[in-house]
A and B are shown apart, each in its own frame.
Chain A
Amino acid sequence: GENVEQHPSTLSVQEGDSAVIKCTYSDSASNYFPWYKQELGKRPQLIIDIRSNVGEKKDQRIAVTLNKTAKHFSLHITETQPEDSAVYFCAAGNAGGTSYGKLTFGQGTILTVHP
Chain B
Amino acid sequence: KAGVTQTPRYLIKTRGQQVTLSCSPISGHRSVSWYQQTPGQGLQFLFEYFSETQRNKGNFPGRFSGRQFSNSRSEMNVSTLELGDSALYLCASRVGGAANTEAFFGQGTRLTVV
Contact = CB atoms under 8 A, between A and B. Distances in A.
Q: Is the A/B pair a real complex?
A: yes
Interface of A: 1, 6, 9, 31-32, 34, 36, 42-46, 49, 51, 89, 91, 93-96, 98-108
B50 interface: yes
A108 B44 CA distance: 12
A93 B102 CA distance: 11
Interface string B72-114: 0000000000000000001000100111101111111000000
Given A43-B107, A89-B42, A102 B102 contact: no
Those 5 A-B pairs whose CB atoms lie nearest each other, nearest first: A93-B99, A95-B100, A32-B100, A105-B43, A43-B105
A11 to B, nearest CB: 15
Contacts, number: 79
Nearest to B33: A101
B41 interface: yes
B23 to A, nearest CB: 12
B42 A101 contact: no
